[in-house]
Amino acid sequence: MCFSYKNDELYAQDVSIKDIAAQVGTPFYCYSSEKLQKNYQAYKSALAQFNNTICYSVKANPNLAVVTALARLGSGADVVSGGEMHIALKAGISADKIVFSGVGKTEQELREAIKTQILQINAESSQEVETINRIALELGLKANVALRVNPDVDARTHIKITTGKKDNKFGVDWDDALPLYRAAAKMAGIRISGIALHIGSQLLDVEPFRFAFTKAADMIAALEQEGISIGNIDLGGGLGINYNAELPPTCEAYAQVVRETLGHLNKHIIAEPGRSIAGNAGILVSRVIYTKEMGDKKFIITDAGMNDLMRPALYDAWHTITPVAKKRAGLIIADIVGPICESSDVFAKDRITEALAQGDLLAVMSAGAYGASMSSIYNFRPLVPEVMVRGKEFFVVRRRLNYEDMLKEHAVPQWF
């Protein structure tokens, strides 16, 4: 286990969380390199029968050490901005393992991607396809392009992280995909490299994948009948993880669906997992500043806030919260809240928890994905440090910002 108790004390691998807190202060994120590795390898072995590239979805956690850890294992990257492409390359991921997704790639981002000759640009509209063609011709290059098709499938996940329905902004409408492929195939700046889809995140059931992949297989058959050959099938990401008592499908179960729906096509399979690689490889550690009671309600106020981890406020997400040192002082029902001046700054409402006291450390579990990556300096709070653990050692992989760091980009007009 990457995060586990030894003598009632929480450890990350063989490092005591209390010791890290003493050295770096709170709050901080803590990642396990062993767990990142394990999660990556689970995909690799499940998809071993296919020619495959796992393109880690950088948005889940773009820390350079996290991306480097995966790069060293051979991972590719799924990026959604020029910044993410930059970090993937910096981490040592070669261009031929990078896919670029997103509905609103700018000309500048596309130019960089085309110049870098990445594995594939997943285009999401006819205007984007035309823009890619124009830029590629200007550069005297051919861009590798897939269409991200929208299979109109209900991923049965939270409404804010569903992406594969017709009324989402993502992808090319199913009925428009064939004509757009035909047009793109005739463009001199474009090399059709594949097909891409991504139907949503935190999926706890493989059936929506089965539905979408089956539709993709039909689309590929139709394309190839017209002589448009498809090299890569990019399956997107989306496999869920355990936050509370969910039973997410295993990589094996996922791979079985890939086998059943797309196996006969013998294509290069790309998967873009984010959460299922980084999510349970990270925790957010925080300290109780105060506790208080108001009427019947008990509050535990922590030094981490919604600016550090916004998933509970934004998606009503559940994260298990556990004391770093178990005191076994009995259970209470309390709201665990941050210090931000917003009522939505609540990590857990009416949670049955150990009676945490002022000064106690606590850990918010499964915070490795969409935790630090979505954090902000709201309330002018410095971004918190990130620490990576391996075996008995730990390393600060992003230092805590200070006030002057945050002020560096500010400027006051001379008229004051």
Question: Could you say whether residue 238 binds ligand LLP (CB under 6 A)?
Answer: yes
60 near ligand LLP, judged by CB under 6 A: yes
- Position among 17, 53, 62, 78 found at the interface with ligand LLP (CB under 6 A): 78
Residue 274 touches ligand LLP, criterion: CB under 6 A: yes
Q: In sequence order, what are the residues at sequence separation of 6 or more whose Cβ sits closer than 8 angstroms to the Cβ of residue 373?
A: 59, 60, 61, 62
Q: Does 57 bind ligand LLP (CB under 6 A)?
A: yes
Does 56 interact with ligand LLP (rule: CB under 6 A)? no
> What is the Cα–Cα distance from 55 to 353, expressed in whole angstroms?
38
Q: Of 63-71, 253-261, 274-282, 375-383, which segment contacts ligand LLP by CB under 6 A? A: 274-282
For strand 361-364 and strand 321-323, is the pairing parallel, antiparallel, or unpaired?
Answer: antiparallel
**Cα–Cα distance for residue pair 123/128, rounded to 1 Å:** 6
Q: Which of the ranges 21-29, 126-134, 271-279, 394-402 carries the binding residues for ligand LLP, by CB under 6 A?
A: 271-279
CB of 387 to ligand LLP, least distance (A): 21
Choose the stretch contacting ligand LLP; rule: CB under 6 A; options: 29-37, 182-190, 248-256, 268-276. 268-276
Using CB under 6 A as the binding criterion, the count of chain residues that bind ligand LLP stands at 22
Please tell me which residue in 2, 55, 251, 341 is annotated as part of the active site: 341
Q: Per CB under 6 A, does 276 bind ligand LLP?
A: yes
Piece of the chain touching ligand LLP by CB under 6 A; list 105-113, 183-191, 218-226, 231-239: 231-239
Q: How far is the CB of 169 from ligand LLP (least distance, A)?
A: 11
Nearest residue to the partner ligand LLP, using Cβ: 237
Strands 98-100 and 120-123: parallel
Among 75, 202, 307, 366, binds ligand LLP (CB under 6 A): 202
Helix or strand run (H / E) with residue 375 = none
Is 236 near ligand LLP (CB under 6 A)? yes
Q: Does 105 engage in binding with ligand LLP (CB under 6 A)?
A: no
Handedness of CA 209, 39, 259, 74 (dihedral sign): positive
Q: Which residues contact 39 (CB under 8 A, 6 or more apart)?
A: 273, 276, 277, 278, 280, 281
Looking at the Cβ atoms of 202 and 286, the one nearer to ligand LLP is 202
Q: How far is the CB of 208 from ligand LLP (least distance, A)?
A: 12
Is the Cβ of residue 16 or residue 320 nearer to ligand LLP in the bound state?
320
Q: How far is the CB of 239 from ligand LLP (least distance, A)?
A: 6
CB-based contacts of 319, cutoff 8 Å, min separation 6: 243, 309, 311, 312, 347, 348, 364, 365, 366, 367
- Smallest distance from ligand LLP to CB 108, Å: 20
Residue 222 CB-half CA count within 13 A: 14
Query: Is 341 labeled as catalytic in the residue annotation?
Result: yes
Sites for ligand LLP among residues 331-370 (CB under 6 A): 369-370
Which 3 state secondary structure label does DSSP give 175? helix
CA-nearest of 172, 211, 216, 225 to 194 is: 216
Measured CA to CA, the distance from residue 170 to residue 122 in angstroms comes to 11
Beta-ladder partners of 241: none
Which helix (H) or strand (E) is 412 found in, with range?
Answer: none
- Residue 305 touching ligand LLP (CB under 6 A): no
Neighbour-count burial of 162, counting CB atoms closer than 10 A to its CB (0-12 exposed, 13-18 middle, 19+ buried): buried
Q: Which is nearer to ligand LLP, 102 or 323 (CB)?
A: 102
Alpha-carbon separation of residue 254 from 138, 161, 319 (angstroms): 41, 19, 24
Residue type, 350: D
- Nearer to ligand LLP by C-beta: 100 or 394? 100
CA distances from 125 to 170, 172, 174, 177 (A): 9, 6, 11, 9
* Segment interacting with ligand LLP (CB under 6 A) among 21-29, 177-185, 270-278, 396-404: 270-278
Q: Between residues 13 and 307, which has the closer beta carbon with respect to ligand LLP?
A: 307
Give the active site residues. 341
Chain contacts with ligand LLP (rule: CB under 6 A): 57, 60, 78, 101, 161, 163, 198, 201-202, 236-239, 272-276, 311, 315, 369-370
